[in-house]
Amino acid sequence: MADKAGTGHDRSDELLFKPNERILCFHGPLLYEAKVVKAEMRDGTDPDAPEPGPHYFVHYKGWKQTWDEWVDESRALKFNEENLAKQKALKQAALQASKKRTIVVAAKHTPKPESESESQSAHGQRNRKRVRESSVEKTREDAEDGLQKEVKLPIPNALKAQLVDDWERITKDKLLVPLPRVPTVAQMLEQYQEYRRSSKDKRRSARRDDDEIVDEIIDGLKVYFDKALGNVLLYRFERYQYKQMLDKYPERNPTEIYGPEHLLRLFVQLPNLIAHTNMDDDAVQLLKEHLSDILKYMQKFARSLFAEEYENASPAYVAIAKAT
């Protein structure tokens, strides 16, 4: 990727990682060893780099420089024993998950093979590739092969402004999203499904199987959110709140506690996650269309979905959050 930085400022005291530091970095759902090449604090004013906050230009160990990229701080972890254990656990989980369906079933949208033998051969090749890409013993070539797709999911400008406001409230003002949220992620997605089904515009629902695809995407989003929240969707100041919520509501999934504010952050990360699936181009395009439709819904009903006021953190919370 090109070395293209956003608007940065020399506020190195606010940066968690320094140039030349060895780190672990999320690329999609997995962690890889990387080195920080550059570090900068962005203010969100550059239209080519609208996400504010700390950003790092990283080089993945053993990968070609074409995979060097700018990442935000939520994707970077300290290189220590605890996070190395997390890296191993994620690889093992990916190996198990490789046998299950991804956010949509690509097979539903791929052209039918000319013969049964060709179908069996193609299916076998996909299975072998899936196992190879998620193997704990993945080689550099396998990793690069698994990152060939470049997926872009445009975020509407109004929602970009929401992301900036969300970041400023939490990282600068030391406020917290009030939890549990109303609506929760699960409730909002259910509301979207009802809205879509009752909409007078039936152009996207004309086919019988379209509703089934949307239901599958919604289920996939919930799974992705539950798995990604604690890993890549929280700011450092929110991590103690996350622990509090898990302790207080052990019977609930994150989708039943957190709301649209954090779901919107997932949409920023989704292109990287989708790039690691084995979906063909037609399936990816179909998925993007439905995800864009959800974003339009969030933009249309933003006033009722996003919290108007964040809550103040207690002095005790601030002290614990700084120490963790």
Torsion of CA 89, 95, 100, 103, to 10 degrees: 70
State the pTM of this model.
0.59
Each residue's pLDDT tens digit in the chain (324 positions)? 545 554 454 556 678 999 999 999 988 778 899 999 999 988 777 766 667 888 999 999 988 888 888 988 888 999 999 999 888 888 877 666 544 444 544 434 434 444 444 445 545 555 544 444 444 444 344 444 444 456 788 899 899 999 999 999 998 899 999 999 999 999 999 999 999 888 755 554 445 557 788 888 999 899 999 999 998 899 999 999 999 999 999 999 999 999 999 999 999 888 887 877 777 788 888 888 999 999 999 999 999 999 999 999 999 999 998 887
Inter-residue contact 140 to 60 (CB < 8 Å): no
Q: 168: Cβ–Cβ under 8 A, 6 or more apart, which residues?
A: 52
